[in-house]
Amino acid sequence: MVINENSSLLITGGTGSFGKKFVDIILSQFPNIRRLVIYSRDELKQYEMAQQYSSQNYPGIRYFIGDIRDNQRLMLAFEGIDIVIHAAALKQVPTAEYNPMECIKTNVLGAENVIQSALNTQVKQVIALSTDKAAAPINLYGATKLCSDKLFIAANNIKGNRDLTFSVVRYGNVMGSRGSVIPFFLKKRHEGILPITDPQMTRFNISLEEGVEMVLWSIENSRGGEILVPKMPSYRVTDIAKAIGPQCKHTIIGLRPGEKIHEELITTSDSTSTVKVGDYFAILPVNMNYTLEEYCQLTGAELVPVGFSYNSGDNNHFLTISEIQSLIQKHVDPSFTA
């Protein structure tokens, strides 16, 4: 699909970091969009967001209080919507380990509610946001997101004759998002000590703008059933510490429960069903109405080598300290100086 002024969009978790950036970019391109629904359960964040994006200035915007655990509320919100971006989730790894059923209720059962609501309304397309932690998960958060990914991909098999597709976008750490390492280090550096869980730790890096661009690309180019993964640079967490607090003491505190040393977005087991599509990879489903060869013919994609994997520790592009500092100034804090 192509987004234009006549589109009707809804984003779950719309008051989060991604949601706010998505809304900002959509309204900058289509200020008179027919309908843009911000669906979340935090009334304060919605109030604050409405100060910036009011219905007076943007007549198509709507703020819906609701939880993805509430199927009836979702179905009401989905009425008249063409495209759903599913960004709502419980995302903190330690919180999920301590509160497992709450994480399951939101990330797994909530995903099923989004699917059922789309099937029972006139929604044309659903793009669900995933995480690197869903690839070979070792923590509960990653396991719930893997379940969510599987639900969205399998939903293409039960849509019947509906004009509806489900796809997944999976990427790594978003630079500057709430709870991520960069804003944490920016805050801690004034104390003179930066705690590092493991000196070997690496992460992929993507900005909020790049994450939104990928979702917009997916809306226009996905065929349904793909798990789409962007090609991204990596960084070493020790380099983040050097970039932010070169004069700080760096203490090693050990891995947190469920934490990985490296991020993995595509496993070797996925390689037999993975293709390269421009700036992205696509992991294709086994049970779909197209083959790998047909997908490549239709999209110009290329098969990856058997045994291929996409891991932040083995990446061929690592950000330098100066590049990290420039990106922090651009995407996180314009006033930042090392």
d(CA 42, CA 57): 22
For strand 264-266 and strand 310-311, is the pairing parallel, antiparallel, or unpaired? Answer: antiparallel
- CB-side exposure of 307: number of CA atoms within 13 Å? 0
Could you say which of 20, 133, 145, 260 is catalytic?
A: 133
Partner residues linked to 327 by β-bridges = none
d(CA 311, CA 204): 8
The residue with tokens 């059962």 is 109
d(CA 310, CA 324): 21
CB 202 within 8 A of CB 236: yes
DSSP state of 277: E
Q: Positive or negative, the Cα torsion across 264, 268, 272, 277?
A: positive
Active-site residue flag, 133? yes
CB 336 within 8 A of CB 252: no
CA distances from 226 to 81, 124, 149, 286 (A): 22, 16, 10, 10
* Residues labelled as active-site residues: 133
